[in-house]
Structure 1
Amino acid sequence: MPLSEPPTLHIFLSAVEHGVRQCSPGAGPASRIGAVAFIHRFGAPLNPHVHFHCVVVEGVFEADAAGGVHFQEARGLSPEALGEIQATARIRLLRALTQRGLLERADAQAMGAWDQGGGSSLDASVRIEAEDRDNLERLLRYCARPAIALERLREIDPRHLVYESVKPGR
């Protein structure tokens, strides 16, 4: 049975949640992240390439005794902490692929040793303050963009269309 996107996304977000919780002073084990995930099924040249764009709140939410919710801001999301989150996600994803028979153990070990995240990446270079609604909207629109950019599609004759890739030669 193939490893579909939702279990893969769950594995990734669980690793992110654990890491963000560890960086949120005072957060308990029941605290949860807030995130919006977009599943993309194609790369820029329209090749099959399942990947996720996730917007994650920098902290965790936790229920209080009165039935309300309070927010614990993550204060230690250093490059090292982000690297640990990425490594944890990669290990868990490779293990899941191996357990389901979709990846040979030797291939998983080789991928685990790759540079630059081993086929997975975690980019936390964009930070938007809660009140910056314009930039938040811009980020979410980018994440939600369709696979085909209509401005790159042109008709060469009544029966044929050409899609102009952003990466020439692909």
Structure 2
Amino acid sequence: MMKTTLLAGAAALLFAAPAFAEIEVHDAYARSASPMSKTGAAFMVIHNDGGAADRLIGVSSDAAARTELHTHEEDANGVMRMIHVEEGFDLPTDGEIAMVRGGKHVMLMGLTDSLDQGETVTITLTFEQAGDVVVEVPVDLERQDHGGMDHGNHGSMNHGTDG
């Protein structure tokens, strides 16, 4: 009787546990406008490969004094301006967040060092459900755009156990 009760309790806990998103980061790269720039940006495609929907709620990096989630928005005069998105970005089940130039991106402000071609920048993405995902993002100053994403080029990832 005791064994049956314990098994039923364990099964109930298993089914009650939330289904966390399986976060994958593809095609990541970082850049700055020039070697003397005090700001830079990182771009990537964040994919939720099943599990529950999630939300990217924060970002951090030792490469900059401040790291924020940003996007571009057109004002009433047709002028594009960059804005900090404090609430973060939704990541639907089997969906993605495309962080591209001229759109959503990770903004690196007050760079602690120059972003040099071929080096890497460590960026921690913080999700509401999945917790922290650490990504090693290569610096690519030569890249012209984010189009034609190569999903075979993955940044190194460390899926955190927070959540």
TM class by smaller structure:
under 0.3
Instruction: Tell me the TM-score normalized by structure 2.
Output: 0.27
Instruction: Tell me the TM-score normalized by structure 1.
Output: 0.26
The higher relative CO (CA closer than 8 Å, separation ≥ 6) is in 2
| Structure with the higher strand share, 1 or 2 | 2
